[in-house]
Amino acid sequence: MHVVNLGMIGGGTVGSGVFNALQRNGDLLAKRIGVRINIVKIAVKAFDEPRPYPIPRSYLTTDWRSVVNDPQVQIVAELAGGTTVAREMVLSALRLGKPVVTANKALLSAHGPELFATAKANNTNLYYEASVAGGIPIIKALREGFVGNRITHIYGIVNGTCNYILTRMTRDGMEFDAALKQAQQLGYAEADPSLDVDGLDAMHKTGILASLAHGFWVEPSQIYVEGIRAVTQTDIRFADQLGYVIKLLGIVKRLDADGRAAPRVQVSVYPTLVPKHHLLAGVNDVFNAVFVRGDVVGDTLFYGRGAGKDATASAVLSDLADAALDLKLGTKQRVPAFAEHERYGKVVPIEEVSTRYYVRLEVVDQPGVLAQISSIFGRARISISSVIQPEDHKGTTVPVIMMMHAAQNAAMLHALRQIGKLRVVKSKPVMIRVENLE
């Protein structure tokens, strides 16, 4: 049987997961693809670092260059993380003409075009299925399965930490801080949770999906991001009364009408009201899901574990199989890492995006308040869909909840700034965007 030699960089959670998966299912993989993947060497930070699965000392080195430069190593798997040394690792391997498999979404988000260009210039390839949504094969679906579709919509629950926190707030009535603390105790959130709860991890993944779907590279600076720190139990309860749940969504939405010109695309990450009847509303705990709409295929939904040693290892093995087959058959760029097929595409600024809104105000309980508020919305040409004011609320102020028809973000934010200055409004207005996913 044809044998391909693998060198790995990183032997922690993901790296040891890949090692274990190859030991467990290497024979099965070899029978299915006709190529055996043989691990030659694994670079680690330290020989005695804790890892979920043991790796025999005979495989280990602390010198990543000895892995990349080893003439026996034909494929390099970068599973170390980070964006500085990891960039050097990947570029070094690609310049030697060696295909690279990575799970590093932050690296791709920051340096994707450089990495893809280097792979192409050196007649090799970069594989990154594990970079988005763990074990869900969404990269392969967008790059190969939907190759004959114009992608019009992507909605992704792509951060398990945020989804777990929002699930506990919805299901158990917990406030954000308590739900976050529990996520940290269970190992779902880091001691510094900002990468997850401020939406940055989801931003990296959403940018990769947008780039693949629309054929021009989306830079992180072009993506509008809001995290979930501002979501309160009050908003969770009112959303429930209105028939919605709140999810952190990565949104990629094509805005041009005919779908044939250079695409104008919304690329955003923010908390969103999702109708309870939609399948995405039922994605709970640490699970991920990606909804994709194509002009030929229609609506599809991909669901599974978005992180963890085994789910990520499954995606890495898929890429290793592709890389090994491409080497065996001499087709190193059968499927390019990134096909720039719409270089004149544009990310539309969030100010120009139109959507619906949930608005919560804390106002003085007196006649004429709603008239003042509605007149400001009216002057901004923003239409109110419905209003809820709890009758049993006690105190001198009351919450007023409004569901708004679609309006541009710029107009909505301008109106809310004016409303926030009214003497009858006693706290900063709360706004959460609404997606009906129709």
Per the residue annotation, which of 98, 105, 205, 309 is the catalytic one?
Answer: 205
Identify the CATH number of the domain in which residue 105 sits: 3.40.50.720
Residues 160 and 295 in one domain: yes
**Where is the domain boundary, 305, 340, 360?**
305
Total domain count, the chain:
3
pTM of the model: 0.94
Q: Of 34, 44, 39, whose CA–CA distance to 14 is shortest?
A: 44
Per-residue pLDDT tens for 222-278?
A: 999 999 999 999 999 999 999 999 999 999 999 986 666 778 999 999 999 999 999
Residues 295 and 318 in one domain: no
Token pair recorded at residue 275 = 């109708």
How many whole angstroms from its chain centre is CA 107?
Answer: 14
What pLDDT is attached to residue 260? 64
What pLDDT is attached to residue 226? 98
Per-residue pLDDT tens for 139-169?
A: 999 999 999 999 999 999 999 999 999 999 9
The arithmetic mean of pLDDT across residues 296-320, rounded, is 94
The residue with tokens 């070094």 is 92
Per-residue pLDDT tens for 70-116?
A: 999 999 999 999 999 999 999 999 999 999 999 999 999 999 999 99
Cβ–Cβ < 8 Å for 400, 361: yes
Residues 174 and 271 in one domain: yes
% of the chain with per-residue pLDDT over 90: 87
Residues 390 and 413 in one domain: yes
The verdict on residue 420 lying in a domain is yes
Residues 264 and 402 in one domain: no
**Where is the domain boundary, 305, 338, 360?**
305
What pLDDT is attached to residue 390? 83
Per-residue pLDDT tens for 329-384?
A: 998 888 888 888 888 899 999 999 999 999 999 999 888 999 999 999 999 999 99
Residues 167 and 298 in one domain: yes
What pLDDT is attached to residue 339? 87
Q: Of 63, 99, 59, 58, whose CA–CA distance to 80 is shortest?
A: 63
What pLDDT is attached to residue 336? 84
**Looking at the predicted structure, is the pLDDT value of residue 405 above 90?**
yes
Residues 359 and 426 in one domain: yes
**Where is the domain boundary, 247, 273, 305?**
305
The arithmetic mean of pLDDT across residues 384-391, rounded, is 89
Residues 156 and 277 in one domain: yes
- Position 183, amino acid: A
Residues 206 and 322 in one domain: no
Whats the size of the chain, residue-wise?
438
**Looking at the predicted structure, is the pLDDT value of residue 391 above 80?**
no
The verdict on residue 366 lying in a domain is yes
The arithmetic mean of pLDDT across residues 420-437, rounded, is 95
Active site residue 247: no
% of the chain with per-residue pLDDT over 70: 98
Per the DSSP assignment, residues forming a β-bridge with 43 are: 9, 61
The verdict on residue 140 lying in a domain is no
Report the distance separating Cα 246 and Cα 272, nearest Å: 5
Residues of the domain holding 288: 145-305
Lowest mean pLDDT among 42-46, 295-299, 335-339, 401-405: 335-339
The verdict on residue 280 lying in a domain is yes
Identify the CATH number of the domain in which residue 199 sits: 3.30.360.10
pLDDT category of residue 396 using cuts at 50, 70 and 90? confident
Identify the CATH number of the domain in which residue 369 sits: 3.30.70.260
User: Which comes out higher in pLDDT, residue 337 or 202?
Assistant: 202
Lowest mean pLDDT among 151-155, 173-177, 190-194: 190-194
Residues 232 and 159 in one domain: yes
The verdict on residue 335 lying in a domain is no
How many whole angstroms from its chain centre is CA 218?
Answer: 13
Residues 175 and 293 in one domain: yes
Average pLDDT, the chain: 94
Cβ–Cβ < 8 Å for 430, 359: yes
Residues 319 and 279 in one domain: no
The verdict on residue 73 lying in a domain is yes
The verdict on residue 339 lying in a domain is no
The verdict on residue 243 lying in a domain is yes
> In this structure, how many other beta carbons lie within 10 angstroms of the beta carbon of residue 395?
7
